[in-house]
Amino acid sequence: MSYAIPNDAELRGLALQVGERLLVEHLSLVTAESCTGGWIAKCMTDVPGCSAWFECGIAAYSYEAKQALLGVRPDTLLKYGAVSEETVLEMVSGALTHGGASVSVAVTGIAGPGGGTDDKPLGSVWLAWKRRGGYPRAELHRFEGDRDQVRRQTVAVALHGVLKTLTQI
């Protein structure tokens, strides 16, 4: 599936929508990010007043950081790798546990320019969302473009997913 590459204004607009919805519902957000390196958290904290609904962002790039900061099990990483449904589901749940928020989003993927394989080509990104007390939802996306474009698309899909998560009961 092909996605439009969002510009900075579009990402700001999405972050503002997420923030407004979180504020109305008296909820807070935590991010768990690997390939985006904190970009989702940056978009959220660019919104004035975000301290009312943004708890924290966890940028966990290495296996060790994913384990220590998000509670991802070593055997999950060894068996499935960092870019997997199993890992992103543990990341999104760990973010809620360690971040203290009511909603979480997690991303892990291969933004490039290297690192892709036949099984996990460049642009492969797993995303997951979860509300406290609910079940996580994960999706695999295959984005096209260079490193910046893959990361921009990931941030946009992550924020759209938060909005979707907020509208689900």
Domains of the chain, first to last = 8-167 (3.90.950.20)
pLDDT category of residue 168 using cuts at 50, 70 and 90: confident
pLDDT digits (tens, 9 = 90+) for 6-63: 999 999 999 999 999 999 999 999 999 999 999 999 999 999 999 999 999 999 999 9
pTM for this prediction = 0.96
Give residue 2's pLDDT.
60
What is the spatial distance between Cα 62 and Cα 71, in angstroms, rounded to a whole number? 13
